[in-house]
Amino acid sequence: MSTHMTPSDVLKRAHAVGNYYGFTSLSSLASAKKGSGARAPYPEGVNLDSLDGVAREVTTLMKQVRDAGLQPSTLQPLFLWHTNLAAGRPAPKSIQVQFHALGVDHAIADAVLIRAVRSFMQDLSKSAPRLRLNSMGDKETRSRFARELTGFFRKNGATLPPDCVTCSRTDVFEAAQMLIKCEGEECEVPSPTDHLSEASRKHFEGVLEYLEATDTPYELAPDILSRGNAWSETCFELLADDHMQAWGSRYTELTKPFFKGNFSSVGAVVRITLEDRSEILPVKERTNPRFVFVHIGDEAKRESMKMADTLRHARIPMTQAIGIESLTEQMRIADMTNAPYLLIMGRKEALERTVILRERSNHTETFIPFDSLVERLRLVA
């Protein structure tokens, strides 16, 4: 990581990446509710001590989302980010930034979240982080994989580290992680992707297709395992340097106690360590972007993901909701921003490599080729 990076820089980059990938800060969402939420104890049955470290942090955030009066759903999913950095206060020793897509079952949410976190970390470290991912699948998959691991430890117990074998009698997933840590790349622990259910296989393939279509480098990592019932499907890590790393996964069980409905979500926690503990400077949030990017169809979504960083680095004042499939919901968000221009891309435009620029005041439309988009938008920005 750059030695000149400050905690204020971290906050500034989180705001910027959030805008271009469609993630809104929890503080902004809570302010928009104007205190309509009420703080309440953790729901009955939520036991933080029984959860791993990341699950505890995500659960704490779910409580904050609920207390803010926010209610995500599959019809109105919620893309948000949050951090323990606060303007006007010294930076904590360990900085944490979370990105979440609540209420989206489709694989696009995993890809958008990974792309956003990757861009955020790349901005900070000035180098591309290493993306490693795996899939633990759904409940059916975890049951199959647990049986496979149990058989593996019974069959090979005589040649495996005694601590791992002992642990396997109470928690085969923890035992597998212990063994992987001991033996490293030479470890021959079974892989969960060999036991995916049909639904989980399709979901994981969908995530990989989005990553490949958006030129996002990745490594399949059978050694990444998520423990406990809190996590499901895709799990991944992003490694930038010794000072910054991220871990993320799909989850359903963590949201159940806090929100109505049963929906899947995906999130990631980025951990950053800086020697600089200076006071955080406030970041002026852009509340009225000049452009809102609306996309229809997978082809358009993929192109918009690739274009997000280009438009951000060109400082085009834009926002979008890449991970939201519904055109109606995207237009609702666009109406809330009151932006004077819409950028529209459907399947036809994506294949022709053009974008429609619509001036909302008079509905005038202009077709702009990809290769001249930045230049044309700067003229009306």
145 and 256 in a common domain: no
| Core vs surface per residue 117-130: b (16+ CB within 10 A) or e | bbbbbbbbbeeebb
pLDDT above 70: residue 107: yes
First to last CA, the chain: 33
CA distance 216 to 200: 21
Q: Note whether residue 145 is domain-resident.
A: yes
Domain of 335? 291-380
* pLDDT at residue 95 in the model: 93
Inside any domain, residue 305: yes
Q: Is the same domain home to 127 and 11?
A: yes
The neighbouring-strand residues paired with 79 are 101
Residues 303 and 249 in one domain: no
Domain-ending residue, one of 228, 243, 273: 273
Shared domain check, 48 and 104: yes
Residue 198 domain-assigned (yes or no)? no
Same domain, 37 and 175: no
CATH of the domain at 13: 3.30.930.10
Nearest partner of 255 among 109, 124, 85, 70, judged by Cα: 70
Convert the pLDDT of each residue in 160-175 to its tens digit: 899 999 999 998 988 9
Does residue 179 sit in the same domain as residue 323? no
Mean model confidence pLDDT for the chain: 89
Check whether residue 34 and residue 115 sit in a common domain. yes
Does the pLDDT at position 338 exceed 90?
Answer: no
Does the pLDDT of residue 184 top 70, yes or no? no
Tally the domains of the chain: 3
> Does some domain include residue 286?
no
Query: Is there a single domain that holds both residue 13 and residue 114?
Result: yes
Do 123 and 30 belong to one domain? Answer: yes
Model pTM?
A: 0.91
Residue 321 lies in a domain: yes
The average pLDDT across 357-371 equals: 94
Considering the domain architecture, whether residues 253 and 301 belong to the same structural domain is answered as: no
Q: Which of 222, 247, 273 is the last residue of a domain?
A: 273
Is the CB of residue 68 less than 8 Å from the CB of residue 30?
yes
For 257, residues 6+ apart whose C-beta sits below 8 A from its C-beta are: 42, 43, 44, 45, 46, 62
Q: What pLDDT score was predicted for residue 35?
A: 56
> 128 in a domain, yes or no?
yes
Residue 301 placed within a domain: yes
Same domain, 301 and 183: no
Say what the pLDDT of residue 2 is. 44
Task: Encode pLDDT of 18-55 as tens digits.
Answer: 989 999 999 988 887 765 556 788 998 898 988 888 99
Question: What are 220's strand-pairing partners?
Answer: 133
Same-domain pairing of 144 and 66: no
